[in-house]
Structure 1
Amino acid sequence: MSDEEGLPDRDWPTLDRDLNRLSRLEAAGQHTARPLVGIGLSMVFVALAALAAAVLTGVGAGSLPVIVAAAFGAYMALNIGANDVANNMGPAVGARALSMAGAIAIAAICETAGALLAGGDVVATISKSIIDPASLDGGPETFVFAMLAALLSAAIWVNLATWIGAPVSTTHAVVGGVMGAGVAAAGLAAVNWPTMGSIAASWVISPVLGGVIAAAILAFIKARIIYVDDKIAAARTWVPVLIGLMAAAFAAYLALKGLKHVMHVSMGTALAIGGAAGLVFGAVSVPLVRRQSRGMENRNRSLKMLFRLPLVISAALLSFAHGANDVANAVGPLAAVVHAGSGGGIAAEVAIPLWVMVIGAMGISFGLVFFGPKLIGMVGNQITKLNPMRAYCVALSAAVTVIAASWAGLPVSSTHIAVGGVFGVGFYREWDTARRARQSATARPPAERLAPEERGRRRLVRRSHFLTIIAAWVVTVPAAALLSALCFWALTLVG
């Protein structure tokens, strides 16, 4: 018997196997080519940024540094999107409250909105007063070369960190770049060493504070909701309180970080705004939580559903505040070069042209779309296992830590806080699991107790990622400074 094409029935299995092989080859080819598409589109974006700078500033010998700075700024913005944004969306994706595509879409919209709506009209040209402009003897030309070197070196270092899978502070990369260029241009005396000391202290303060607060919130949730007999009744009491706390923290966080460029907000005003928001959202969430929890089974899986929406909202708010705050890392030195190139000389603060802000906002979004999934997966899945409750603790810790640090006048890194929160949740779970195991060990025969090797294998935080990330944090400033010094010397030779 044969079909309409004249092929015997026995030939169909062979044809199916051949078609399956071709399909697998095609899928493998698409997977291999996908990173190249992102690289190609990124190069197009960098070229378009340089072209926009040429059109808007006029092509000429004096505009060449502005065109180059626009390309470097676009490259830096791409790397910020690829690395930094993972800290906001990673926990939500790891907890499966958001899909990867949903997280990227929300983050791209919120990052762009934060950069354009609250990114500010004025930024400091010397990042965090790292170097003294008066020490640059070469005048505006030396200053321009220093800013170009700082941008390029910071972008290269963040790119390398993304490639090895290490979330690093882009702010620290820019600081290291400015410091390295200042040392290359004017020597060690040009650096504000007390400021550098406070930044070095933040390497320890940020992750430890974020981890401790995240662990404390998780301990509260376990004690008041998870480890009680009637979990649903406890959740109806405490989840609205936690939602109100989240609303209060994020309202104050956005007032301090996201709106500081639009209006002056004191700590007292920010806390008042946060308190009002917490009361309103906490009261509104009471009937919503009761309705959502109706009919739920008395187990932990049910509790996870109650934390998903607050987690998604917190991730979106973190992205908005990040776009408002960290866009200056990409466009601050670029704005300084534009100001100097237009005859304004060296200034402590400069206005950011709209086209410069657009380059920063679009670059962060494109970097997130093209290269963000790698770091989102790292933060969300590969450090420790997250669920909506644990990821909620990380997000809330980020907001509370920034507020506490601002009140105390401590310099902190949002990247270090968020990743430190993930580590804090993981290490607390290890400690809590070991504690509960010790409590039940007395009831077990000695033969059934776990060997030390088996306990080590069951660790809840992957030590390899922990050591890689810590090492990347420690070397970010010196590595960016060394790269910046090399870039500055190369630019002076070419120029």
Structure 2
Amino acid sequence: MARLAGLDYIFAICLITSFLDAYGMGANDVANSFSTSVSSRSLSFRQAIFAAAICEFLGAILVGARVASTIKDSIIPLSNFPTVGFQMLGFACISAGSASFQLFATRLGMPVSATHTVIGAVVGVGIASGGAQSVNWQWDGVGQVFAAWGIAPAISGIFASIIFLITKYGILKRKNSTTIAFYAAPAYFFVVAAILTMSIIWKGASTVKVDELSTGVLVGSIFGAGGGVALLSILFFLPYVHCQVVKKDYTVKIWHIFLGPLLWFRQPPADANDSTLAVPDYYKGHREEDWSHLDARYKNPDEVQAAEDGRSESHKSVDAGRNSNSSNRHPSQLAEEVEKRCQTTDFTGRPPKPYYHPIEGAWIEPWNIYIMLRYNLLPFLGYYLFGGLRTNIHEMQKSGSEKTQAKIRDMHAQATQYDNNTEHTFSFMQVMSACVASFSHGSNDVSNAIAPLAAVYHCWSTSEYSGEKSEVPVWVIAFGGIGIVIGLATYGWKLMSVLGNRLTLHSPSRGFSMELGASVTVILASQFGIPVSSTQSITGATIGVSCCSGTWRTTNWKSLAFFFYGWCITLPLAGIVSGCLFGIIANAPSFINV
């Protein structure tokens, strides 16, 4: 049948809202997943963006869901929509409501579940279109969502705690922890690869028909992947780490890992010793001496006040120079000032906003137009589009008032800091677990953002109803994957700034346990058909590891309460936005016929 040409505008609007929904998912859901790797310094923020761009996109394209659940788990019946046009409108409102709440929650620094946001939007449209009685509130509908608030964090917290306790007492607290970690690494790689393979098969690879595979094929795939990765770790990983940790070779680069066994014969520089930092400092910024500036304010108040007065006068002079007539300065001077400001970041970790250059005379004058475009518009566009790439996540997680910084310092002081070389061994396993979890997330959860678009596209292009399951074109999946990556790159810093070390002290061994515990939870939940959230799973895993790192004071319980509050308001707020939007449009009078 021909497309619904009269409803082209609904399809166009849904394209925009679906992109914003995917954008919000990348800035919130994916940023939450990668915050542990960034906070532990296993990955930099830019490396996390690069890894997510590859894994999320490939997961969505290669093994992503080709069939999206458009009536999410049969929450509302198709009978709620009397015409195809009404169904198009309903799913467009679902997309708009989900996108609105995702962006709202991200702006507040509130980690929420993308899956539950879409479900809330579906419930809102269902109530607006057929009443509350038309919504499936039973266990096989909305009931599972409420149960998941407690199930996902609890199960992931238990598994992450078990993994961390085994690592803690088996390796980290041992006298020769680095040597033990070195020899135990292949076994860890085997377990991690096997578990993550199960995660891809049972949750991520929607195009793989697991029921059609025999037990032997499944077991062979899982153990084969684990054994293969363990063998690769022996051939390539151990020689590389040996050069860094034992030989103190600070000249070895990450690409040297491909030399494999040849690294055993690599000679370190003559000046290589314990003082040369061959591995990253994973506890940088979290030791007691790194918070000395807080104590200085109380020990030398006169000196601190004098320094503040000096900075104040300096800022006044700088502002006076900036407020001088911009039209009297040469373009090279303006460009130099912009460049200097772009190379600095303020104490919060965010790059400073560009300075607005005033103009004199009419704005239509060629010189003023040049100033507005070159030194006002372009810098501000660059700040909002690419400023996130220059954000220092670790400084943001430590920023705040003196009282807030003191609380973070005291919280970190309660957590034990282990040998840095031992932690370095777990950083590679954490990166692997983060990338595979991202691949699984992209292959499965991208459908949450593009399911409404898939339904609208089906209705619009065929003039037929979209059933409970709707075929998803590849371009729609790619569209959602691109939105997720852009969301993480441009706005993912917002959520990462309130997670990670602001919730508890992170390190590679802790982050590895968190991510693996969350992956195990997702595997079990997918087997039992419980729609758990990756956001809630990683949060529960973080709390579980935190409680095993020291005392109960190692956790920021106030932030955790705020996150739980966000989970509670996800369904009602997303539902209110989508439901009200649908009700207003669907019941609006036709001004043509009035």
TM range (shorter): 0.7 to 0.9
Structure 2 equivalent of residue 213 of structure 1:
159
After superposition, residues 229-240 of structure 1 pair within 5 angstroms as 229-240=175-186
1:409 paired with 2:512, answer: no
CA shift, 1:284, in A, is 3.7
1:338 to 450, 457, 465: 457
- Say which is worse superposed, 214-223 or 141-150, in terms of deviation: 141-150
Tell me, yes or no, if the aligned pair for 1:131 and 1:182 is still in contact at 8 Å: yes
After superposition, residues 88-237 of structure 1 pair within 5 angstroms as 88-134=33-79, 136-194=80-138, 195-237=141-183
Amino acid at match of 2:424: M
Tell me, yes or no, if the aligned pair for 1:214 and 1:393 is still in contact at 8 Å: yes
When residues 382 and 92 of structure 1 are mapped into structure 2, their CA distance, relative to the original with a 3 A threshold, is same
User: Alpha-carbon deviations, 1:51-109, whole Å to 9, x = none?
Assistant: xxxxxx98942322211111111111111111011122111100001111111111122
1:242 paired with 2:191, answer: no
Tell me, yes or no, if the aligned pair for 2:66 and 2:206 is still in contact at 8 Å: no
3-state DSSP of counterpart to 2:497: helix
User: Alpha-carbon deviations, 1:441-487, whole Å to 9, x = none?
Assistant: xxxxxxxxxxxxxxxxxx21112211110100112112211222111
Structure 2 equivalent of residue 44 of structure 1:
none
1:304 paired with 2:423, answer: yes
Unaligned runs of 5+ in 2: 248-273, 275-417
1:395 to 489, 511, 515: 515
Structure 2 equivalent of residue 276 of structure 1:
224
CA shift, 1:353, in A, is 2.3
Amino acid at match of 1:468: F
CA shift, 1:331, in A, is 1.0
1:468 paired with 2:565, answer: no
Tell me, yes or no, if the aligned pair for 1:236 and 1:286 is still in contact at 8 Å: no
- Say which is worse superposed, 167-176 or 151-160, in terms of deviation: 151-160
Residues in 2 aligned to 1:200 and 1:492: alpha-carbon distance in whole angstroms:
29
- Say which is worse superposed, 338-347 or 78-87, in terms of deviation: 338-347
CA shift, 1:338, in A, is 1.1
Equivalenced residue count is 411
CA shift, 1:175, in A, is 0.3
Structure 2 equivalent of residue 295 of structure 1:
246
Identical-pair percentage: 31
- Say which is worse superposed, 182-191 or 348-357, in terms of deviation: 348-357
Residues in 2 aligned to 1:316 and 1:222: alpha-carbon distance in whole angstroms:
24
3-state DSSP of counterpart to 1:350: strand
CA shift, 1:393, in A, is 0.5
Amino acid at match of 1:395: E
After superposition, residues 50-89 of structure 1 pair within 5 angstroms as 60-89=5-34
Unaligned runs of 5+ in 1: 1-56, 435-458
Residues in 2 aligned to 1:480 and 1:182: alpha-carbon distance in whole angstroms:
12
What's the TM-score once normalised by structure 2's chain length?
0.66
Residues in 1 aligned to 2:218 and 2:495: alpha-carbon distance in whole angstroms:
32
When residues 272 and 418 of structure 1 are mapped into structure 2, their CA distance, relative to the original with a 3 A threshold, is farther
Amino acid at match of 1:222: K
CA shift, 1:322, in A, is 1.1
Structure 2 equivalent of residue 455 of structure 1:
none
CA shift, 1:208, in A, is 1.1
3-state DSSP of counterpart to 1:278: helix
Task: Kindly indicate which of the two structures has a greater share of residues assigned to helix.
Answer: 1
CA shift, 1:361, in A, is 1.3
Structure 2 equivalent of residue 370 of structure 1:
490
When residues 137 and 409 of structure 1 are mapped into structure 2, their CA distance, relative to the original with a 3 A threshold, is closer
Residues in 1 aligned to 2:89 and 2:434: alpha-carbon distance in whole angstroms:
37
When residues 120 and 172 of structure 1 are mapped into structure 2, their CA distance, relative to the original with a 3 A threshold, is same
Residues in 2 aligned to 1:98 and 1:249: alpha-carbon distance in whole angstroms:
21
3-state DSSP of counterpart to 1:80: helix
Tell me, yes or no, if the aligned pair for 2:426 and 2:508 is still in contact at 8 Å: yes
Tell me, yes or no, if the aligned pair for 1:330 and 1:360 is still in contact at 8 Å: yes
1:420 paired with 2:540, answer: yes
When residues 264 and 290 of structure 1 are mapped into structure 2, their CA distance, relative to the original with a 3 A threshold, is closer
Tell me, yes or no, if the aligned pair for 2:124 and 2:576 is still in contact at 8 Å: yes
Amino acid at match of 1:143: Q
Residues in 1 aligned to 2:581 and 2:166: alpha-carbon distance in whole angstroms:
50
3-state DSSP of counterpart to 2:498: helix
CA shift, 1:137, in A, is 4.7
Amino acid at match of 1:97: S
Tell me, yes or no, if the aligned pair for 1:236 and 1:289 is still in contact at 8 Å: no
Structure 2 equivalent of residue 313 of structure 1:
432
When residues 155 and 393 of structure 1 are mapped into structure 2, their CA distance, relative to the original with a 3 A threshold, is same
RMSD: 2.2
Residues in 1 aligned to 2:22 and 2:537: alpha-carbon distance in whole angstroms:
21
CA shift, 1:397, in A, is 1.0
1:322 paired with 2:441, answer: yes
Residues in 1 aligned to 2:66 and 2:504: alpha-carbon distance in whole angstroms:
39
CA shift, 1:270, in A, is 4.7
Tell me, yes or no, if the aligned pair for 1:267 and 1:407 is still in contact at 8 Å: no
1:260 to 206, 209, 218: 206
Tell me, yes or no, if the aligned pair for 1:171 and 1:326 is still in contact at 8 Å: yes
Amino acid at match of 1:460: T
Tell me, yes or no, if the aligned pair for 1:120 and 1:262 is still in contact at 8 Å: no
